[in-house]
């Protein structure tokens, strides 16, 4: 009977798990880390970005996103969309080509890899023979031209990657058509560029590294014209009317050549070095686009004077009398121009630039060429992220006020809509409004709309104006000196340099019902802010809190506190500070919480914690938790004093050196800085413990940082007796100690006259002294207490004050439940004894049922140092589910994780990207989008050549078996069941034909 009952309980538990819990890594937010290639389809209106880690990401209209990952651990070097098809080709730095398609499945599109191909040379041939350096998708959509390091051009059919042997262009064929005097002077080198004639698809220009350019006729298989440039070639552009070819060179010059001139020895029609005759850097890419009325646009990257501005990352735009050098803060990867009208045939409308740390889009049709704000791909790391805070279900009124405040900040952006509009976003509207707040090293807090697929920037708050720093608030990146040459204009928002690292934001807490916000920083500063729709000028007076309380024998050796501005400061509309608490010593704030109903803020550092009444602007409570033997807590992050804990100081020194390196060498060390910060946090938490423990071991009270406050919690519960509830403050430390204080908060009528008081009530010392990472009070029904003002706004039921309350203390090693008010142990769950993990992050979440709307459960979301995510039931404290989420080696990702109130989570997978995951079956945010292949009918032959002309020669020479396979490929391309069979047959064909083809091309 017992066995049957146990089996019934297990089946019921499994059913509940299926209804409530399901792990999904839904998507990624932010800017791709280490981008390496850019592609654009004018017909699909899609943007593609490849990265050094082998990822390929596609973006269209807001909400339309796709992601693929190559199996090879190699960087993506080139991305090319196939004309008028829902497919693209990628080239990796291991010389492999990959075919991707956007296939429709159940009404939605998905990005699939359907083939891969690598050129292989004959036995004994050097690798340069088949090393691909340039890729040109032919406008027919059926051919790829592959230029190689050895100077050959191979032609393959797509999507099958079948080489067309007789149409390959070998180096010997090209050399035979070039005058002997040119060949005698130099080797042609590699194929640097391939471009198709916009008005004649049978003609392509082949540009070689040494400078020679050959116009080749694919139909006649011969050279039509050679252009004997003498400078090292960087890029080639064929003008839209087909009459000119532009070439850019390594000496900072560009040349314009007339197409069709019979005298091949004639000097170039036009040669120019835009930035003078002093040595200039190479012009890596050049584009010229006509306008219907007026002169053309000329755009090129590079070309700056080497001695004076060799470290600048610039794209020059010249149109009529306007000449601007757009100056970016990181290296330029690539750029393209979007045109107006159908099929991208109108005037240039937007310049899209991918740089190493952001995507910048510039409106070319509005005076001044302003920037268009991006709805996605925003650089989250424009200043390094130091902390995150998520708030679910924002009330509409607060949401609208934040949106309006953000709009006032964005007046410098273009009013033009986002120009990349491909695909259809079929995702339903978000059920609620969610905010993600990120704190940054430069003292800013950024508000993001995290409701849907796009993490959209809403508002930026800066705290630097409160303090005296070296930063000039009137600095404007877009200011330029009149008559300056080159005519630089700073663009982009990526700026990793912090003039004062003490400004860094470490903790954030926002009350969504009252609009009060509190932020805490690196130098012990805690600001309390309120939302104001009008500009205000005011002085913020600092209230100093001495957490050491006069203890002798301690001397702070770290950084000094920030100096507060004595003069009134003009604060723009938005969140404006009205109270400031300054901890002394000015150590990093490690815990922070706000109770907007009681008008109280609690804060903690490595020395103790305090309670501040921001209505009366008085200190209510100061408690020193510093252990007398803990000298390390007095050194501070920039100390040079020797200690046995050398690893901690080395971490801080790495941070400091990285900042110096940023200023001196103007390089991006954001990734290193983020990793160092994360490792520092891990070291503070772990200290001298092994990475994996199989049993709980008692920790010595002499361990360093035992007094560091890890968590703070407000609760209205029972502390003195079981019949009288009272406001309380709970604090947990790194040494396994929990302090509880009873608070007397006057009624609303007397709140401004009477002072809030606090008296110690309880103190709990965990037996094994494991750090306390979370505290939760459960009401008589076993439910967590609601947030402040949540009941008053009718968004939560009142807590049960008749049954007995319980205190849940979460340490790194176990979950322990105590009864209140007696504080006697009731039950516990030992996480470490189970799998050797330690708790790093916890959060209470509501898990709704996917099958029954009126059913749900509260659970505790837990992240461990192994990167595992658990859900623990409340109030029974039993393990529900366990998923692998983050790699255990990803210290930065584990340290940055933040949970939401509805079963989701965010963590940094790079300094610039959040990974979003969900544990809830009914709360999942992911892209739902559809891409339709562009219609081929109605397109002019000038821009859409008929495929038959480019295929006639090949069709005549194909045997019946090859033709049948070709038909199968096209007919069954979107059939998932036969893709693998097609791929196997294609690879077999490649193996049999490729060796002979390459030999004949080289011969």
Q: Give residue 975's pLDDT.
A: 44
639 has a pLDDT exceeding 60: no
**Does the pLDDT of residue 311 top 50, yes or no?**
yes
Q: Which residue has the higher pLDDT, 550 or 673?
A: 550
The mean pLDDT value of the chain amounts to 84
pLDDT of 675 reads 59
Which pLDDT belongs to residue 996?
42
Q: Which SS3 state, helix, strand or coil, does residue 893 take?
A: helix
What pLDDT digit, counting tens, does each position of 354-373 carry?
999 999 999 999 999 999 99
Give the pLDDT of residue 687: 43
Beta strands 270-272 and 283-289 are: unpaired
Task: State residue 483's pLDDT score.
Answer: 66
Q: Select the more confidently predicted residue: 581 or 163.
A: 581
Ordered alpha helix ranges (H), 326-377: none
Taking CA atoms, 838 is separated from 2, 812, 825, 864, 891, in Å, by 34, 5, 21, 5, 13
In angstroms, the CA 116 to CA 109 distance is: 21
Mean pLDDT, rounded, for 129-143: 94
Which pLDDT belongs to residue 983? 52
Q: pLDDT band at residue 10, thresholds of 50, 70 and 90?
A: low
CA 703-707-708 angle, to 5 degrees, is 105
Beta bridge partners of 610: 603, 622
pLDDT digits (tens, 9 = 90+) for 892-924: 999 999 999 999 999 999 999 999 999 999 888
CB burial string 820-852: b at 16+ within 10 A, e below? bbebeeeeebebbeeebbbbbbbbbbbbbbbee
**Model-level pTM?**
0.85
Write down the pLDDT at residue 661.
Answer: 46
pLDDT tens by residue, 690-734: 333 334 555 655 556 889 999 999 999 999 888 889 999 999 999
Instruction: Read off the pLDDT band of 418 (50, 70, 90).
Output: very high
Helix or strand (DSSP H, E) at 583: strand 574-584
634 exposure class (CB count in 10 Å sphere: 0-12, 13-18, 19+): buried
Query: What per-residue confidence (pLDDT) applies to 938?
Result: 37
- Whether 190 and 126 have beta carbons less than 8 Å apart is answered as no
Give me the pLDDT at residue 343, please: 66
E strand or H helix at 401, and its extent? helix 396-409
Record the tokens describing residue 51, joined without a space: 């990265």
Percent of the chain as helix, strand, coil, to the nearest 5 = 15, 40, 45
Average pLDDT over residues 3-21: 63
pLDDT greater at residue 988 or residue 600: 600
Helix axes 979-1002, 960-971, angle to 10 degrees: 130
Give which of 888, 743, 730, 880 is closest to 810, Cα–Cα: 730
pLDDT of residue 390: 97
Task: Specify the pLDDT at position 836.
Answer: 72
Tell me the percentage of the chain whose pLDDT exceeds 70.
81
**Count of C-beta atoms within a 10 Å radius of residue 760:** 11
> Is the pLDDT score of 200 beyond 90?
yes
Q: Looking at residue 989, what is its pLDDT?
A: 47
Who wins on pLDDT, 459 or 994?
A: 459
pLDDT digits (tens, 9 = 90+) for 793-843: 887 888 988 888 999 999 999 999 999 999 999 999 987 766 678 999 999
Pairwise pLDDT comparison (500 vs 620), residue with the higher score: 620
pLDDT at 230: 84
Give per-residue pLDDT as tens, 371-405. 999 999 999 999 999 999 999 999 999 999 999 99
Residue among 676, 678, 585, 589 at smallest CA distance from 630: 585
Which pLDDT score is estimated for 654? 52
Interhelix angle for 646-665 vs 670-686, to 10°? 170
Checking if the pLDDT of 663 tops 70, the result is no
Give pLDDT tens digits for 324-355. Answer: 999 999 999 999 999 987 766 789 999 999 99
Q: Are 725 and 745 in contact (CB under 8 A)?
A: no
| Dihedral over Cα of 687, 690, 691, 696: its sign | negative
């Amino acid at each position: 009977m017992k066995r049957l009952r146990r089996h019934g309980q297990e089946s019921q538990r499994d059913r509940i798990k299926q209804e409530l819990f399901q792990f999904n890594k839904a998507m990624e937010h932010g800017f791709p880390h280490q981008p390496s290639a850019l592609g654009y389809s004018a017909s699909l209106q899609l943007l593609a970005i490849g990265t050094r880690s082998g990822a390929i990401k596609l973006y269209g209209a807001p909400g339309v996103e796709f992601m693929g990952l190559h199996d090879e651990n190699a960087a993506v070097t080139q991305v090319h969309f196939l004309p008028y098809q829902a497919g693209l080709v990628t080239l990796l730095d291991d010389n492999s080509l990959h075919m991707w398609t956007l296939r429709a499945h159940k009404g939605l599109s998905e990005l699939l890899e359907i083939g891969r191909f690598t050129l292989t040379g004959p036995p004994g041939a050097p690798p340069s023979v088949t090393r691909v350096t340039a890729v040109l998708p032919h406008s027919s959509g059926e051919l790829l031209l592959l230029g190689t390091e050895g100077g050959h051009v191979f032609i393959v059919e797509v999507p099958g990657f079948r080489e067309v042997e007789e149409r390959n262009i070998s180096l010997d064929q090209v050399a035979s058509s070039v005058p002997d005097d040119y060949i005698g002077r130099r080797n042609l080198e590699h194929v640097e560029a391939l471009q198709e004639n916009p008005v004649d698809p049978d003609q392509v220009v082949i540009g070689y590294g040494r400078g020679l350019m050959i116009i080749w006729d694919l139909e006649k298989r011969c050279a039509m014209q050679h252009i004997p440039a003498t400078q090292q070639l960087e890029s080639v552009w064929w003008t839209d009317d087909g009459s000119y070819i532009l070439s850019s060179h390594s000496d900072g010059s560009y040349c314009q050549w007339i197409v069709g001139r019979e005298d091949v020895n004639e000097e170039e029609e036009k040669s120019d070095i835009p930035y003078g005759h002093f040595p200039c850097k190479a012009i890596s890419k050049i584009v010229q686009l006509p306008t219907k009325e007026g002169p053309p646009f000329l755009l090129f990257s590079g070309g700056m004077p080497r001695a004076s501005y060799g470290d600048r990352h610039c794209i020059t735009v010249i149109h009529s009398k306007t000449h601007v050098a757009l100056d970016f803060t990181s290296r330029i990867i690539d750029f393209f121009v979007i045109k107006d009208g159908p099929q991208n045939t109108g005037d240039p409308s937007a310049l899209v630039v991918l740089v190493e740390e952001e995507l910048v889009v510039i409106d070319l049709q509005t005076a001044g060429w302003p920037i268009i704000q991006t709805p996605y791909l925003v650089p989250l790391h424009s200043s390094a992220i130091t902390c995150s805070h998520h708030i679910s279900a924002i009330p509409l009124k607060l949401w609208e006020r934040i949106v309006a405040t953000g709009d006032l900040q964005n007046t410098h952006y273009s009013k033009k809509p986002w120009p990349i509009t491909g695909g259809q976003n079929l995702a339903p509207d978000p059920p609620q409004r969610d905010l993600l707040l990120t704190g940054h090293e430069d003292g800013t807090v950024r508000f993001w709309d995290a409701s849907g697929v796009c993490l959209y920037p809403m508002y930026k708050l800066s705290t630097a104006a409160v303090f005296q720093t070296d930063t000039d608030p009137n600095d404007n990146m877009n200011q330029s000196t009149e008559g300056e040459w080159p005519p630089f204009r700073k663009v982009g928002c990526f700026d990793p340099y912090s003039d004062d690292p003490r400004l860094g934001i470490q903790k954030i807490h926002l009350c969504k019902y009252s609009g009060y916000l509190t932020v805490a920083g690196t130098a012990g500063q805690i600001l309390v802010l309120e939302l104001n729709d009008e500009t205000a000028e005011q002085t913020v007076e600092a209230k100093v809190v001495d957490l050491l309380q006069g203890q002798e024998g301690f001397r702070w050796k770290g950084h000094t506190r920030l100096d507060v501005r004595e003069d009134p400061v003009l604060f723009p509309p938005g969140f404006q500070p009205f109270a400031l608490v300054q901890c002394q010593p000015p150590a990093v704030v490690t815990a922070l919480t706000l109770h907007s109903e009681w008008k109280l803020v609690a804060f903690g550092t490595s020395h103790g914690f305090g309670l501040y009444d921001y209505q009366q602007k008085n200190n209510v409570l100061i408690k020193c938790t510093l252990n007398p033997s803990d000298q390390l807590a007095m050194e501070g992050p920039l100390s040079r004093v020797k200690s046995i804990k050398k690893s901690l100081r080395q971490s801080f020194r790495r941070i400091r050196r990285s900042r110096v390196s940023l200023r001196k060498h103007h390089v991006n060390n954001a990734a290193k800085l983020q990793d160092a910060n994360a490792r520092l946090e891990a070291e503070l938490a772990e200290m001298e413990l092994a990475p994996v423990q199989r049993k709980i071991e008692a920790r010595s009270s002499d361990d360093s940082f035992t007094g560091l406050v890890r968590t703070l919690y407000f609760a209205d519960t029972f502390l003195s007796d079981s019949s009288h509830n009272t406001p309380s403050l709970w604090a947990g430390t790194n040494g396994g100690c929990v302090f509880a204080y009873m608070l007397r908060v006057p009624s609303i009528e007397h709140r401004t006259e009477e002072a809030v008081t606090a008296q110690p009530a309880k103190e709990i010392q965990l037996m094994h002294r494991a750090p306390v990472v979370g505290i939760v009070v459960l009401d008589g029904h076993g439910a967590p207490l609601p947030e402040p003002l949540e009941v008053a706004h009718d968004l939560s039921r009142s807590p049960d004050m008749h049954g007995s309350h319980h205190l849940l203390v979460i340490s790194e090693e176990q979950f322990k439940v105590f009864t209140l008010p007696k504080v006697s142990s009731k039950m516990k769950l030992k996480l470490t004894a189970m799998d050797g993990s330690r708790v790093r992050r916890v959060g209470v979440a509501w898990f709704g049922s996917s099958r029954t709307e009126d059913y749900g459960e509260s659970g505790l979301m837990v992240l461990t140092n192994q990167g595992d995510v658990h859900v623990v039931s409340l109030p029974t404290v039993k393990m529900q589910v366990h998923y692998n989420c983050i790699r255990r080696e990803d210290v930065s990702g584990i340290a940055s994780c933040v949970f939401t109130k509805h079963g989701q989570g965010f963590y940094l997978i790079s300094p610039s990207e959040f990974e979003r995951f969900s544990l809830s079956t009914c709360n999942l945010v992911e892209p739902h989008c559809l891409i339709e292949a562009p219609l081929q009918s109605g397109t002019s032959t000038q821009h859409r050549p008929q495929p038959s002309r480019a295929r006639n020669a090949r069709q005549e020479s194909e045997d019946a078996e090859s033709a049948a396979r070709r038909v199968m490929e096209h007919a069954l391309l979107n059939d998932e069941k036969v893709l693998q069979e097609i791929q196997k047959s294609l690879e077999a064909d490649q193996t049999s034909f490729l060796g002979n083809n390459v030999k004949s091309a080289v011969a």
